[in-house]
Structure 1
Amino acid sequence: MIEETAVVTRCEGEHAWVEAQRKTACGQCQVNKGCGTAVLASVVGQKVSHMRVLNPIRARKGESVVIGLNESAMVNGSLAVYLVPLLSLFLFAITGKVLAEQLMINAVEGVSILFAVFGMVLAIAWLRAFNRRVANDSRYQPVILQRMPSAGLTVASSTPTLNPD
């Protein structure tokens, strides 16, 4: 389970909207100051992600919570979004090139590009269908796992007193 902390901003029935601060790996790295990613993150700034999550524990607005997403859902979703369009683009481009060469068409590159665009359009159509299919599947939705402990701890005052001696 991939976990992240967030703050509930709105509740809607069995779902809640949460706000999570995007983090970079820069806080964990020893080369923090000399890294291009750290410099870019400091220029772009911290971003906030808003997302709808399942709310089985009935968290309320303003509460800090831990949200989680199944690793297999993350991998499957990433493969669908990145790999399917890329493979479709390349396979259709190669098919167009081979077909144009076999049919002895002079504009081999043009046919290859046309097939590549067609492959990308098909991949996008497939992605839309995939998205509709998994949109309400709880395996692909982040879920609130637990409430974070309250930060309202009382701390004893530790102001130093001067001793005149």
Structure 2
Amino acid sequence: MIEETALVTATNGEFATVETQRSTTCGECSSKSACGTSALVKVMGRRRTVIRVLNPIDAKLGERVVVGLEETALTKTSFVFYIMPLLLLLLFSVAGERFAVALNFNSTEPVTILCGLLGLSAGLIWLKFYATRISRDKRYQAVILRCTDELKISVGFS
């Protein structure tokens, strides 16, 4: 289980909206002045992420909580979200090139590029439907695991 500390910013039935601050150890080590990642953190800043999570412990507004997500859910969805569009782009490109060769086109590149873009578009459209389907599956939902021992914090963000 991957865990992260978050602040509850809203509750709605069985769900809560939580805000996490991306944490990194960059800027803390001795080589921070020569590190590209540390420089990137300085430019991009420490951004906050707001997500909707399951709230089985009935956490209240302003509480610090620990949010968890199963590793298998993260790895499976990451794999699908990165690989499917690329796989369809490649498959459609190869099919387009073979189609252009079969029709004796002088140049196969335009057909290959067009088919590749169609494949990429098909992959992105499929991902939209896939994301909608798994968003209702509790196995892929982040969940509040427990409250931390910290004091409640007033909700007022800059």
| TM-score normalised by structure 2 residue count | 0.89
CA distance in 2, matches of 1:117, 1:27: 40
Deviation at 1:151, TM superposition (A): 4.2
Partner of 1:3 in structure 2? 3
Deviation at 1:90, TM superposition (A): 1.4
Moved more, 54-63 or 31-40: 31-40
For residues 54-83 of structure 1, give each alpha carbon's deviation from its aligned partner in whole angstroms, at most 9, with x where no partner exists: 000000000000000111111111112111
The gaps in structure 1 that reach 5 residues or longer are 153-165
Q: Secondary structure at the match of 1:132?
A: helix
Deviation at 1:25, TM superposition (A): 4.7
For residues 86-143 of structure 1, give each alpha carbon's deviation from its aligned partner in whole angstroms, at most 9, with x where no partner exists: 1111121122112212321123011001111110121112111111211110111100
Moved over 4 A (4+): 27-30
Letter of the 1:32 counterpart: K
Moved more, 61-70 or 91-100: 91-100
Letter of the 2:9 counterpart: T
Q: Secondary structure at the match of 1:20?
A: strand
**1:117-128 superposed matches below 5 A:** 117-128=117-128
The 1:124–1:36 alpha-carbon spacing in structure 2 relative to 1, beyond 3 Å, is: same
Deviation at 1:28, TM superposition (A): 7.2
Partner of 2:108 in structure 1? 108
Aligned residues between the structures? 152
The 1:64–1:128 alpha-carbon spacing in structure 2 relative to 1, beyond 3 Å, is: same
Partner of 2:37 in structure 1? 37
CA distance in 2, matches of 1:31, 1:73: 35
| TM-score normalised by structure 1 residue count | 0.86
CA distance in 1, matches of 2:83, 2:9: 33
Q: Secondary structure at the match of 1:59?
A: coil
Letter of the 2:23 counterpart: K
- Over the aligned positions, Cα root-mean-square deviation in angstroms equals 1.6
Partner of 2:16 in structure 1? 16
CA distance in 1, matches of 2:29, 2:94: 42
Letter of the 1:107 counterpart: S
CA distance in 2, matches of 1:31, 1:4: 26
Partner of 2:99 in structure 1? 99
Partner of 1:79 in structure 2? 79
The gaps in structure 2 that reach 5 residues or longer are 153-158
Letter of the 2:123 counterpart: A
The 1:118–1:72 alpha-carbon spacing in structure 2 relative to 1, beyond 3 Å, is: same
The 1:84–1:67 alpha-carbon spacing in structure 2 relative to 1, beyond 3 Å, is: same
**Which one has a bigger Cα radius of gyration?**
1
Identity %: 44
Q: Secondary structure at the match of 1:65?
A: strand
CA distance in 2, matches of 1:24, 1:82: 24
Deviation at 1:31, TM superposition (A): 3.3
